A = this chain, B = another copy of it.
Amino acid sequence: MGVCLNKFADKVPEPTLRRLPWYLSNLKLMRERGEMYVSSTQISKQINIDASQVAKDLSYVRITGRTRVGYEVDALIEALEDYLGFTRLHKAFLFGVGSLGGALLRDSGLHHFGLEIVGAFDVNPELVGTEINGIPIFHSDEFEKKMSKAQVNIGVLTVPINIAQEITDKMVAGGIKAVWNFTPFRIRVPEQIVVQNTSLYAHLAVMFNRLNFNQE
């Protein structure tokens, strides 16, 4: 079984990247049950995804199963966590300590999946100088200074929509390379900047619509 350390070399399709954490969580359950080997067919059955798709997705991780025996559970978990970037901490700054921003600062779960928010920015005088969950809150004006001292390239965007673009522009000018956008606003960035949109409100809209559709 070969685990290739040349991770991130390929631009993996987004659907694959979204399925890999499903496999990972299932594998962790198998490990809890004491299982040592798993086949893509087994994963396929448990997750309800075609076995050939599972095998194809796992091929990106450059880990190969052995005929009849399958994948070694421990090794596959390790390879997936490593591949998905969950084993290394990626430092981030958060912008906008409102309701959602504050909630994300309190979510220690992000840390287990490789995101370490090392500081937050806001202009609210009641927040500046305080900390949440051990994370210091600075005045937004201090961003460039803090940026020059820290190895941070991810920005979490949780500001009101009317300043979403302005703050994004400042983040990018300051050297941020990836924006995790929680606002329902479609921000614009230069080509080389990564944007991950996670609009809880858009997800709510989809859920409400499906729910009402089913009930009619």
Q: Which A residues lie at the B interface, using CB under 8 A?
A: 7-12, 14, 17-18, 20-22, 24-26, 28-29, 32, 47-48, 84-86, 90, 98-100, 102-104, 106-110, 113-115, 153-154, 161-162, 177-178, 180, 183-186, 188, 192, 194, 196, 198-216
Contact = CB atoms under 8 A, between A and B. Distances in A.
CB-based closest 6 A-B pairs: A85-B208, A8-B212, A103-B103, A196-B207, A84-B205, A103-B107
The quantity of this chain's copies bound in the complex is 2
B194 A207 contact: yes
Contacts of A212: 7-8, 85
Given A161-B25, A202-B17, A99 B90 contact: no
A17 to B, nearest CB: 5
Contact of A203 (B86, B198, B208): B198
B183 A25 contact: yes
A184 B10 CA distance: 23
B154 A207 contact: yes
B204 A110 contact: yes
B216 A22 contact: no
